[in-house]
């Protein structure tokens, strides 16, 4: 390939984690002056970009000490009056409160997937929930503010918002952003979940949870939102079972003796991890070969790998 007028030192192949697939300003070598790009001017090999610093746009990093983290609008939840203690056994879960977990509804009003509210007008879910990235969206809705899969129309707090647009993520992400027709109303039943810092790797042993209205395989009541706790393991440990097939853009939770995990209807929902008093969206539920298979780790898409794309899509609208 002929690169004119300058052969680049950095390419998508030589710097796979620098997000160089598209023609945007980037900083693959950590230049202290900030992002730069090659030019088409034969006299000037490269030039710096007049962009605001990332730390002016991004939320605080959850890697900072707890007393410096100010998650004011995301990752908070309060106990709900309609929560009831239960031993009902997502598979192996119990009814719970996850105010950022949304129900995706088809043209017939039926639940088919989960999603996570990451901004008042944006939901992050999985591409597996739709036949294609160009699916007509007339009649599709997002339902929020309820713990029930089939709530009464007059249920207090229920919000039903049509889906206006979909944006598929990078080819290796399996992610999908849905733009809603209008912003939702945040309250005690509807909350945003925090997004992680870019490339953040959740430490093994971190306590997390999945949530959804999916198949419980007889272990519980799939008419209500079920929440199940799971602990993160390293990709190295996970690949002992999966023989190296788990990639850097994926993450795993520990396999348990009892069947606990996500099944059909949960896909697209959150793997939320509690960090510095806030819940952070670290993973997205995707289909595993066998749902909730005892002793086998569950695999999720690692959100932190694609945070830059998420912010870019929401910023451009």
Could you say which DSSP state residue 257 is in? S
Residue among 123, 127, 213 at smallest CA distance from 115: 123
For residue 61, is it within any domain? Answer: no
CA angle, residues 78, 143, 104, in degrees to nearest 5: 120
For residue 111, is it within any domain? Answer: yes
Q: What is the pLDDT of residues 127-154, one digit of tens each?
A: 999 999 999 999 999 999 988 888 887 7
Task: Flag whether pLDDT at 105 surpasses 80.
Answer: yes
126 and 167 co-located in one domain: yes
104 and 236 co-located in one domain: no
Predicted pLDDT at 32: 67
Residue among 255, 258, 262, 259 at smallest CA distance from 288: 262
168 and 110 co-located in one domain: yes
Q: What does the pLDDT average to over 192-220? A: 83
102 and 154 co-located in one domain: yes
How many other CB atoms are there within 10 angstroms of residue 112's CB atom? 18
Provide the domain limits for residue 149.
94-192+307-316
CB of 274 within 8 A of CB of 208?
A: yes
Return d(Cα 58, Cα 53) in angstroms, integer: 9
For residue 253, is it within any domain? Answer: yes
pLDDT grade for 314, boundaries at 50, 70 and 90: very high
279 and 130 co-located in one domain: no
Predicted pLDDT at 280: 95
Q: Which H or E run contains 164?
A: strand 159-168
Residue among 209, 199, 179 at smallest CA distance from 75: 209
CB contact burial 181-196 (16+ within 10 A = b; e otherwise): eeebebeebbbbbbbb
Return d(Cα 175, Cα 129) in angstroms, integer: 10
154 and 290 co-located in one domain: no
Look at the chain and report how many structural domains it folds into: 2
Beta-strand (E) ranges in 80-121?
A: 94-95, 101-105, 111-119
pLDDT grade for 226, boundaries at 50, 70 and 90: confident
Q: What is the pLDDT of residues 50-101, one digit of tens each?
A: 655 544 454 433 444 333 445 457 998 877 544 443 333 344 445 568 999 9
140 and 229 co-located in one domain: no
Which residue intervals of 173-316 are DSSP H helices? 235-242, 307-316
Q: How many angstroms separate the Cα of 114 from the Cα of each of 128, 144, 182, 202? A: 11, 11, 19, 22
pLDDT grade for 277, boundaries at 50, 70 and 90: confident
Across the chain, mean pLDDT equals: 80
Burial class (CB in 10 A: 0-12, 13-18, 19+), 145: buried
156 and 230 co-located in one domain: no
Predicted pLDDT at 257: 56
Residues 6+ apart with CB under 8 A from 317: 179
Q: What does the pLDDT average to over 32-59? A: 66
Q: What is the pLDDT of residues 9-33, one digit of tens each?
A: 777 777 766 667 666 777 887 776 6
Positive or negative, the Cα torsion across 121, 189, 159, 90? positive
CB contact burial 200-223 (16+ within 10 A = b; e otherwise): bebeeebebbbbbbbbbbebbbbe
The CATH number of the domain holding residue 279 is 2.40.10.10
Predicted pLDDT at 64: 40
Q: What is the pLDDT of residues 157-189, one digit of tens each?
A: 899 999 999 999 998 999 999 999 999 999 989
Predicted pLDDT at 221: 55
């Amino acid at each position: 390939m002929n690169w004119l007028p300058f052969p680049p030192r950095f390419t998508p192949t030589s710097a796979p984690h620098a997000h160089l697939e598209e023609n945007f300003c980037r900083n693959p070598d950590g230049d202290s002056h900030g992002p730069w790009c090659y030019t088409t001017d034969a006299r000037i090999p490269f030039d710096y970009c007049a962009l605001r610093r990332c730390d002016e746009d991004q939320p605080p990093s959850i890697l900072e000490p707890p007393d410096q983290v100010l998650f004011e609008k995301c990752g908070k939840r309060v106990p709900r009056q309609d929560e009831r203690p239960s031993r009902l056994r997502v598979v192996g879960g119990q009814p719970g409160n996850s105010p950022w977990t949304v129900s995706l509804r088809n043209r017939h009003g039926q639940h088919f997937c989960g999603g996570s509210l990451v901004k008042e007008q944006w939901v992050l879910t999985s591409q597996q929930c739709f036949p294609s990235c160009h699916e007509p969206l007339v009649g599709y809705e997002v339902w929020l503010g309820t713990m029930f899969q089939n709530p009464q129309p007059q249920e207090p707090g229920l919000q039903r918002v049509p889906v206006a647009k979909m944006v598929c993520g990078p080819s290796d992400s399996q992610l999908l952003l849905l733009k809603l027709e209008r912003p939702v109303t945040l309250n005690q039943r509807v909350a945003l979940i925090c997004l992680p810092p870019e490339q953040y790797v959740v430490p093994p042993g971190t306590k997390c949870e999945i949530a959804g209205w999916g198949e419980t395989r007889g272990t519980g009541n799939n008419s209500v939102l079920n929440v199940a706790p799971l602990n993160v393991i390293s990709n190295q440990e996970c690949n002992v079972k999966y023989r190296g097939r788990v990639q850097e853009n994926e993450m795993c939770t520990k396999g348990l003796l009892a069947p606990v995990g996500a099944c059909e209807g949960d896909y697209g929902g959150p793997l939320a991890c509690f960090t510095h008093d806030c819940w952070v969206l670290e993973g997205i539920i995707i289909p595993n070969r066998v749902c909730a298979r005892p002793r086998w780790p569950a695999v999720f898409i690692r959100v932190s790998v694609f945070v830059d794309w998420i912010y870019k899509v929401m910023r451009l609208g």
